Amino acid sequence: MKKGKILGAALMSAVMGISMFATAAFGQQSANQESYRVLIQGPSAEKAKAKASYGARWEFEGQGFTTTVNGQQYQALLKNKNLKIERLPELQLGLNQDAAAKPGGTTAAAPSDQTPWGIEAIYNDSGVKATSGGNGIIVAVLDTGVKKDHKDLVNQVLQCKDFSQMKTPLVDGSCSDGNGHGTHVSGTVLANGGSDGKGIYGVAPGAKLWSYKVLNDRGSGYSDDIAKAIETVADNASGLKVIISMSLGSSTKDSLIENAVNYAYNKGVLVVAAAGNDGPGTNTIGYPGALVNAVAVAALENVQQNGTYRVADFSSRGNPATDGDYVIQERDVELSAPGRAIESTWKDGGYNTISGTSMATPHVSGLAAKIWAENPSFTHTQLRDELQRRAKVYDIKGGTGAAIGDDYASGFGFPRVN
């Protein structure tokens, strides 16, 4: 397996599923082969019969409904020629040997730096001691949940919902993070320095968090749960300025998630998503980041800690045929941000350092919140234009596959505060 891959190749080529875009393993493939999540489509009468027999987890207008069935029920459904059955299996993280940073080891009780290198880089200020901004903006992080009582995230969580439970589709008020990934991502967006003033800072501590747990504690989830969470964000966003941040993905496009992203974008929500960790090969960008209505973020590393940035080898690349056009098409990287050896908040109340485009994405989500708060008249499309404009100012020219200007590795470049 190539360094940087997070999903087993056989699983990736077989069926759609969602995993986190961090570069280390959080779990193993599920041993339960007797339970299947499926999307059922067909004539209304036939769907009604199936729904009566198996129940419905989620309804998707114009697309049918999803449910969970056992092996025998699944085979019975396949025999019904009047129904279209699409299986939505759960995919787990594969192993990765990236030695830069691995979760799961000893975490620190205090941050090594209150403004880690990624924060200094996106602020373009190596001497920054604290961050600010994002007031009035909501960032919806769709991930493994969050440790709400982490001292650096206290009073930051406005909504907490769990879409990952097997028996209950949605648990309101619950978003416990047994993995750590979601807490880490959330901290990079809006950690506020801690109730004691000794904690870590995210990009936009004035923003508030909607934590939607769509991945279980092994770090995997079904596409229907994620799609419904995206729709829920969009439906709750009326009259608000909301950014969706998703550090998750798959090599395969899923219609449920694509339609949900389009739905949210059309309702004025900016969608930011990880490019994936399948680099350095071309055309390896994952979904939903690869969608036109999502801002795909690549991962940068700090070369020899000297303030020179390049695209990390593990970071997925887009389509080189579209280099230089400054037009976002499907499977294009749009922006790049710090993603290797990123320190942030962790599930045990401490701090951990991990790598991946998962870590790059919340830097951009936080920056978007900060810019939007400073420009409240912006629409989400104008906000996206401003991110692109700032990225052009700091083009990423070095590293494997990174050319001058709009390129398939770094996109438009690295947007920053200053």
Just list the catalytic residues. Answer: 143, 181, 358
Q: How far apart are the first and last CA of the chain?
A: 39
Q: Are 335 and 391 in contact (CB under 8 A)?
A: yes
Q: Which tokens belong to 149? A: 């009582």
Q: Which tokens belong to 248? A: 């998750």
- CA pair distance 334, 135, nearest whole angstrom: 25
- CA pair distance 295, 292, nearest whole angstrom: 8
With residue 210 as reference, give the H or E element that holds it: strand 208-213
SS3 (DSSP) at 335: strand
- Which residues, other chains included, contact 29 with Cβ-Cβ below 8 Å and sequence gap of 6+? 8, 11, 91, 92
Cα-based angle 240, 242, 245 (whole degrees, multiple of 5): 170
In 3D space, the residue among 354, 417, 394 whose CA is nearest the CA of residue 101 turns out to be 354
| Measured CA distances, 238 to 188, 266, 272, 369 (Å) | 25, 12, 19, 17
Please give the DSSP secondary-structure letter assigned to residue 95: P
- CA pair distance 230, 236, nearest whole angstrom: 10
Backbone angles phi, psi at 50, to 5 degrees: -65, -40
